[in-house]
Structure formats: C-alpha cells, structure tokens
C-alpha cells in the first residue's frame, strides 16, 4: 500500500485524507491537539506543526515520516494575494524545514485565482509557474512538484446557493472536491512529476444558473453572461480524465463511485 502525506488538513485536506484512508496509508499534519486526536482516531497518523510567517522558526524539525512516503501533498495556503512577500518567504522556509530534501512525488495546491481578472478564457500556457510567486518558490526547491491550480472548491456542505452572491451573471469556475481526489489518484498511480494543470469543471454556467438549479427555481428571464473561463482542456487531453461532476449546476446531487 502506498504511503501518502497530506500537509494541512483543512476543508480539502481532511476530505482527501478520509477518502484515501482505505486506498493508501495516510499521514497528516494539523496545527492543534484537538484536531490531531480526531485524525489519530481515524488512523491518519497526525503530526502537529505550523508554518508561521512572522519569522523563520528554529523549532521545526523534519517530518519524521517523510522518508517513508511515496507522495507528499501540500494543501496549506500560500498565496501572494493573501500574504506579503516577507511573510510568504518565511512560511515557505518553515515548510521546507519540515519537508527537507524529499525527492519523491509531490503536489502543491495553487489556485485559478492566479489568473488575471479579465473576461477571456485562460489556459496554463497563459501564465507559467515562473510568473506566479508561490509556484516559482516551491518549484525552485522541488522541481519534481506537480502544481494544481484549483478552481473554487465545492461539494458536500459547500454549495453556491448557501452564500450571499454578487455578480450573478458571471460564469463560475468551480471544482467538486471528489474530482480533485480522482485527478490526484490518477496522477499518483501514473507516478507523474512536474505537471501544471488547471483543475476545474469543464462546464461554466453562470452563478444565476447554479443557484437556480440548487434551489429548484426558474432562471431569470434575461441575463447576460460574463465570460471569464479557466480551461480544463489540458488535463482532459493529457490525462484522458473524465470529470465525475462536470457541471456545477449539479454539484448538490450525490453520485456514487
């Protein structure tokens, strides 16, 4: 059985860990004792660690399990839009102390939010990792890393209709967390390295259409969709991946594997 390490067990990391618990031997990290006890009860081998941005810490030791891992997945948020350059660099240096010189398969969870806010269709070739601060930093240290630019995370208790939404004419770039897991399983089993993919559902309805579908309401009589679209064509063509949830209008309908 392959051993997979997930650094960060927030909303996405926790769901990946629980889904894979019967497929892989899963090792996890969390920042607090209470969450560690929950992960331990599920046999998810937790380690308590955090990656502060205020300074480079002398108290972070290399992950004791890392030499045994086949794959390491980084779900902790690192965003140049969220953190200053200094904070980002400190957080990364603390992360690198934890990972060490690991040279196995790796994944870094980036975001489709790195693309400019323009009304056009974007593919991976429009913005290389070298042009994105957080992707450039992590790739410089681990050139084998796979970078996945995730669209808006949805599924389970996350549905667009649960939120106060503006710009209802805008097309959505969303992804169901189960498709993220399935894409990664495929890449893990194929032992892929150094890939850059947008992970986004291939159908892009408007927010109005998604909310109307989830609430079983009729569509507004007239709306003019705004076309800012992130393309998933590369992952479809290169991996032959078929999305389990291709249309965000139906993310609220549970499908069996």
The pLDDT of residue 255: 85
Residue 254 within any structural domain of the chain:
no
Q: What is the DSSP letter of 112?
A: G
pTM of the model: 0.95
Domain CATH code at residue 47? 3.40.50.720
Tally the domains of the chain.
1
The answer, yes or no, to whether residue 251 has pLDDT greater than 90, is yes
Measured distance CA(150)–CA(44) in Å, rounded: 24
59 occurs within a structural domain: yes
211 located within any domain? no
When pLDDT is cut at 50, 70 and 90, the band that residue 100 belongs to is very high
- Residue 154 maps to a domain: yes
Query: Would 222 be classed as within a structural domain?
Result: no
The span from the CA of 204 to the CA of 227, in Å, is: 9
**Which has the higher per-residue pLDDT, 26 or 222?**
26
List the one residue out of 7, 12, 134, 138 whose CA is nearest residue 60.
Answer: 7
Percent of the chain with pLDDT over 90: 82
The answer to whether residue 77 is domain-embedded is yes
User: Tell me: the pLDDT tens digits for 135-164?
Assistant: 999 999 999 999 999 999 999 989 999 999
The Cβ-side half-sphere exposure at 80, using a 13 Å CA radius, reads 14
Any domain includes 150: yes
Residues 6 or more apart from 210 whose CB is under 8 A from it? 160, 161, 172, 174, 248, 249, 251
**Has residue 240 been placed in a domain?**
yes
Q: Which residues contact 163 (CB under 8 A, 6 or more apart)?
A: none
What lies within 8 Å, CB to CB, of 6 at 6+ separation is 13, 16, 17, 26, 27, 28, 29, 73, 75
The domain of 149 spans 3-163+174-201+230-244
DSSP state of 206: B
Rounded to an integer, what distance in angstroms lies between the CA atom of residue 186 and that of residue 227?
30
pLDDT digits (tens, 9 = 90+) for 22-47: 999 999 999 999 999 999 999 999 99
């Amino acid at each position: 059985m392959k051993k997979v390490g997930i650094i960060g067990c927030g909303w996405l990391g926790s769901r990946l860990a629980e889904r894979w618990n019967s497929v892989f031997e899963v090792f996890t990290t969390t920042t607090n004792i209470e969450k560690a006890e929950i992960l331990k009860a599920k046999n998810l081998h937790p380690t308590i660690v955090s990656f502060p941005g205020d300074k480079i810490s002398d108290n972070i030791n290399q992950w004791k399990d890392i030499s045994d891992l086949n794959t390491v997945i980084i779900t902790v948020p690192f965003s140049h839009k969220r953190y200053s350059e200094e904070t980002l660099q400190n957080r990364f240096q603390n992360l690198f102390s934890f990972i060490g010189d690991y040279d196995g398969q790796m994944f870094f969870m980036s975001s489709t939010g790195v693309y400019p806010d323009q009304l056009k269709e974007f593919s991976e070739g429009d913005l290389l990792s070298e042009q994105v601060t957080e992707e450039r930093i992590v790739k410089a240290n681990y050139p084998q890393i796979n970078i996945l630019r995730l669209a808006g995370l949805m599924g389970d208790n996350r549905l667009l209709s649960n939120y106060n939404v503006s710009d209802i004419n805008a097309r959505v770039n969303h992804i169901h967390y189960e498709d993220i897991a399935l894409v990664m399983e495929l890449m893990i089993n194929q032992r892929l390295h150094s890939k850059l993919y947008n992970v986004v559902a291939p159908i892009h309805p408007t927010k109005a259409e998604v909310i109307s579908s989830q609430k079983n309401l009729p569509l507004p009589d007239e709306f003019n969709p705004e076309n800012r679209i992130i393309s998933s064509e590369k992952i479809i063509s290169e991996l032959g991946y078929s999305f389990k949830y291709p249309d965000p209008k139906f993310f609220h309908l549970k499908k069996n594997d």
